[in-house]
Structure 1
Amino acid sequence: MKENDHEKKPMDELPLEHRQVLSLLREGLENAITVNDIQKLTGISSVRIRQCVNQLIVKYGYIIGSSTKFKESGFFIPVTMSEEKLAITQLSSRVRKISEREKALIRNIANKHNIDLIEALRST
């Protein structure tokens, strides 16, 4: 195992909020649960739910997918390679969109201050 790899931490060793979120996640894309539904069932804020999911993946070694498909939106536990690939694709798509937003913001700042892009980057 590489130094940065994480073995999946047992559920009973997770913080309470993480256990609450994880306990509501079901196997398979068709059983995805929305942040709003998790929030209604747990009382945990939507921001904190997303933080918990991120930490479950990054810090605790869980495999959790997300989907924005109309009838299958929300978080789920992937059970097939296809669902695992979807989980990665969804994140890659978000990364591209965030990168586009970052570039546009830098360009807009440069335009606002009448400076070149390199200068705008230094000022942000």
Structure 2
Amino acid sequence: MEECGHYARWKEDFALVAEIGCGFLRIGPPLHRTLLADGRHDWEYADLAFAELRRLQIVPIVDLCHFGVPDWIGDFQNPAFPALFAAYARAFAARFLGCSSIRRSTRCTSRRCSAPATAGGTSRWPPTAASSPR
């Protein structure tokens, strides 16, 4: 998302989604940029993005962990990851699920966490690592 310019041009991206008449968009706060440390979060992108989606009447299908983990966690095999991710998900829910920017009926948590185990490859995916599952 960084390399394709989405984080710099997300408003344009959302406008294009609205322009083609799509009413749903799978998106989530980038875990590697949002989860700064255990219990510390930077919600700026999520606050702005979800408010804009609401304004455009696009329903977000929220993905809480899509690309990888923050460097300070290491990888998905870190024994602390499940508890850290659960706390992150609780913090997300506390912040967003009661607000008008997110509708409870459309959300998902993670698809990528299990991919390394099922793909037989490494557990570190971009943006924090150069390798990906084989």
Please confirm whether the aligned pair reaches a TM-score higher than 0.5, indicating the same fold: no
TM-score, structure 2 normalization: 0.24
State the TM-score, normalized to the length of structure 1: 0.26
